[in-house]
Amino acid sequence: MKMMKMKTVLVIINCIILAIGNCGGPLMTRLYFRNGGKRIWFSSFLQTSGCPIILLPLLISFLTRHRKQEQEDTKTTLFLIKPPLFLASVVFGLLIGFDNYLYAYGLAYLPVSTSSLIISSQLAFTALFAFFMVKQRFTPFTINAVVLLTLGAGSLALHADGDKLPKETRKEYIVGFAMTVAAAVLYAFVLPLVELTYKKASQRISYTLVLEMQLVLCVVATCFCLVGMLADGDFKNQEFDFLFIVQELRREAREFKLGGSKYYCVVVAFTAVIWQGFFLGSIGMIFCASSLVSGVLISTLLPLTEVLAVLFFREKFQAEKGVSLFLSLWGFVSYFYGKIQSEKEKRTQEAQLSQLQVTESVA
């Protein structure tokens, strides 16, 4: 009973931080590009640079374990993660770092509402990868949801001209669209890959271990983007001078439309913290449930992100976006209805099996 309550609490916490990160992260990134920010590698760097926050719950976990094991007169290890999971987390970090770049590139040329609708197709890819990698069971409702979400995202590609940002070319819009689709596919691949790693791990997966993996993943992803900043594009400099990066960021802060203080506090600090909530929430939901459930929750938050983008950024909401949103919501309803029906059938079968066992024991 205590374990069930603890898991319920973890599910609620992860849902909350995932909601904050999933809705707030794209808005913060778009805010950066909308007000004069132009550095894609720096924007992708910010998405995982808030990882030191994870040290706080890890410290609490360590102190709790230390107190318990001190009573048992056993030594407390600083970290639980072992080499196989550490190496797996490094691989995840490299994939996430590249995915961050693709997503930041897309948001540089797409409105948040359009980007969010494209990302909704991620559920289709997550379901596909989960089917092959972790043997995820499919139902007609799941298949229907996948088809609807794919059509919803695809409908946006047919009306590129009406959704371009000011001073944006058609080529930039198409490249941004393609980058966002690629980001959705890559992250959809990472989610089942993490679930598969949990299942194949030789050590017991606890939430503390999930946090440690998340820390390694984010540090690697941040370093990946930092190398990108140094080597190409944003801060290209043959001497790889970190002082040069600082000078460029100060110059960008001075030219930022909202002012230097908001650049550092809102764009840099808040973006790093909010995106960390997204990554921690999505990985945490895999631990609490499955990669498909994590993907569904990410997609379910789409309507809220849409509304916030229209309210804060006054983005256009054309007919094709309405059609895409309708198809996406239809897909979500289909998935959840199928999930409810599956649970009902499972409980019915368990009740019938239990009744049969009682009958046989009496006989």
DSSP letter at 165?
A: P
So what's the pLDDT on residue 77? Answer: 84
Task: Note every long-range contact of 142-145, with CB atoms under 8 Å and residues 24 or more positions apart, other chains counting.
Answer: 142/334, 142/335, 142/338, 144/331, 144/334, 144/338, 145/331, 145/332, 145/334, 145/335, 145/338
Backbone angles phi, psi at 321, to 5 degrees: -70, -35
Question: With 60 as the cut, is the pLDDT of residue 240 above it?
Answer: no
Is 355 exposed, middle or buried, given 0-12, 13-18 or 19+ CB atoms closer than 10 A?
exposed
* Average pLDDT of span 84-97: 96
Most confident segment among 71-75, 80-84, 130-134: 80-84
Mean pLDDT over all residues of the chain? 83
| Cα–Cα distance, 168 to 315 (Å, whole number) | 15
pLDDT in tens, 336-354: 777 777 777 777 877 777 7
- Using CA atoms, how far residue 297 sits from 49, 105, 288, 335, in Å, is 23, 24, 13, 11
CA distances, 49 to each of 84, 103, 216, 238, 308 (Å): 24, 16, 12, 24, 24
Q: Which helix (H) or strand (E) holds 249?
A: helix 242-255
Residue type, 108: A
Of 11-15, 34-38, 166-170, 330-334, which gets the smallest average pLDDT? 166-170
Q: Residue 160: is its pLDDT beyond 70? A: no
Four-CA torsion 311, 314, 315, 317, nearest 10 degrees: 70
Sign of CA dihedral 39, 43, 49, 50: positive
Q: What is the mean pLDDT of residues 89-106?
A: 95
Range 214-250 burial, b when 16+ CB lie within 10 A, else e: bbbbbbbbbebbbebbbeeebbeeeeeeeeebeebbe
pLDDT band, very low/low/confident/very high, at 155 (cuts 50, 70, 90): low
Q: Worst-scoring range by mean pLDDT, 73-87, 106-120, 146-160, 280-294?
A: 146-160
Whole-structure pTM value:
0.84
Average pLDDT over residues 258-287: 90
- pLDDT-derived band of residue 169, with 50, 70 and 90 as boundaries? confident
Instruction: pLDDT band for 192, please (50, 70, 90 cuts).
Output: very high
Q: And the tokens for 301?
A: 């938050």
| Confidence at residue 151, expressed as pLDDT on a 0 to 100 scale | 74
Is residue 161's pLDDT more than 60? no
8 Å CB contact between 315 and 309: yes
- The pLDDT, as a whole number, for residue 55 is 93
CA 96, 98, 102 angle in degrees (round to 5)? Answer: 110
How confident is the model over 282-339, as pLDDT tens digits? 988 898 888 877 887 887 777 778 778 878 887 777 777 677 778 777 877 777 777 7
- The maximal CA–CA distance of the chain, rounded, in angstroms, is 85
DSSP labels, 311-353: HHH-----HHHHHHHHHHHHHHHHHHHHHHHHHHHHHHHHHHH
Q: What DSSP designation does 47 have? A: T
The residues near 245 (Cβ < 8 Å, ≥ 6 apart) are 229, 230, 235, 237
Q: How far is CA 33 from CA 108, 183, 264, 297, in A?
A: 6, 18, 14, 26
At residue 82 the predicted structure's pLDDT band, cuts being 50, 70 and 90, is: very high
